[in-house]
Structure formats: C-alpha cells, structure tokens
Amino acid sequence: MQNANIWLILLVKGLDMHGVKVASVLTATLKAADGMSSNYVLVADATHLYIIQHGTVVLLLPTPDTITAVC
C-alpha cells in the first residue's frame, strides 16, 4: 500500500508541474462488456476530469464545475 501512496503523490506532483491543480483522485478497476478488467486513475481539477491508464491520459472530459470529491 505504501508504494501506491507514493505513486499517487508523484502523479499529483507531476500534474501540478503541468499546471493541473488536482482537486481529487480516485483509482478504479472497470470491467468492459467482454468481461476484461482495466485499471484507471481518475483525476479532477477545476475544469476537467482526466482518465489515466498506464500513465497516459486516455480521456479528458470537461466538467461544468469543480469536482471536489470522487467516490
């Protein structure tokens, strides 16, 4: 668990260096229609929800307001 916490801290610091002010972070395992599971990190700032997989932003969604919590 300690390595996961360090990884999230490095992710948040890396995003901050690119001007993304992280408001919330959530890790999620999602299952596709074919039953295959994939791991993602959901990161929200004031204007966007970033969906990250394997260190790459795979989807960037605009948000109507700041997301302050994800669960």
- 2-50 pLDDT per residue, tens: 455 556 666 666 666 666 777 778 889 989 899 999 999 888 888 888 8
pTM of the model: 0.70
Q: Find the angle CA(36)-CA(32)-CA(35) to the nearest 5 degrees.
A: 40
Q: Is the dihedral of CA 60, 68, 18, 28 positive or negative?
A: negative
d(CA 42, CA 57) in angstroms, rounded, equals 10
Asked if residue 1 has pLDDT above 50, the reply is no
Residues 56-69 have a mean pLDDT of 86
Give the range of the structural domain holding residue 7, as residue numbers without chain letter.
2-62
**How many domains would you assign to the chain?**
1
User: Bigger pLDDT: 1 or 28?
Assistant: 28
